[in-house]
Each structure stands twice: as C-alpha cells, then as structure tokens.
Structure 1
Amino acid sequence: MNDDLIVYEQDRYRSLEEYHRARRAQANLAHAALDFVRERPGTSLVIGLAALYILSRRR
C-alpha cells in the first residue's frame, strides 16, 4: 500500500490500533472463507464468502 492510501484508510478509524484491528479482522475473514470452501468440495468461493458474511453479521 502506498502512504496516501494508508492515511486515507486511517482517517476512517478513531485510532491506529482500531485500524490495525479492522485490517486483521478482514484478513481473518478471508482466511476463514478459504477454509470454509476447502472443507466443502464443490462450494464456490462466492458462496463461502456469502455464508461467512451472513454468519459474521449475526454476532
């Protein structure tokens, strides 16, 4: 990422710590989507992402 994009994204969060927490959560969700698809042969990545999105909204 270039510095301008980092500054732009950081402006959306109250602190740098909150920014990094959100980035880690996004990465964790992406890894969970890949695991979800790997564990269920024949499942597309889009379906896996949709399922995880729905589950994450329930929390």
Structure 2
Amino acid sequence: MAAPKKNFPLRIDPKLFELLEKWAADEFRSINGHIEYLLRESLRKAGRLPQKKPNTTDE
C-alpha cells in the first residue's frame, strides 16, 4: 500500500502557474500530478531518487 501523500501550500508566480497548467493539460495530467512528475524526474536525473527494488519471486 502506498504511503499517504503530503499536503503543503505552494506559492508560485501566476505566469509560471499558467505555463505549468498548460503543459499539464498537454500531457493529460492534473497540475499537481504534473508538478510531482517534474520533481520526480529532476530527482531521478540528479541521482537523488532511490532505485526501486526489483520484484523477485521465489519459485
């Protein structure tokens, strides 16, 4: 089961929000989902996102 997501207020420039909102719509994501995607991609590219453990099954 996934951990519950944290809520926090985000103050952002209105023009930046408008651009992110358009980008999110182009990708068929919500603005929150798109911001989370962008943050996760940035963490991955910086090598700061923990690697997922491969699923192994004992047979």
Q: With CA pairs under 8 Å and 6+ residues apart, which has the higher RCO, 1 or 2? A: 1
Q: Quick check: TM above 0.5? A: no
TM band (smaller chain): 0.3 to 0.5
Length-normalised TM-score, structure 2: 0.40
Q: Which has the higher helix share?
A: 1
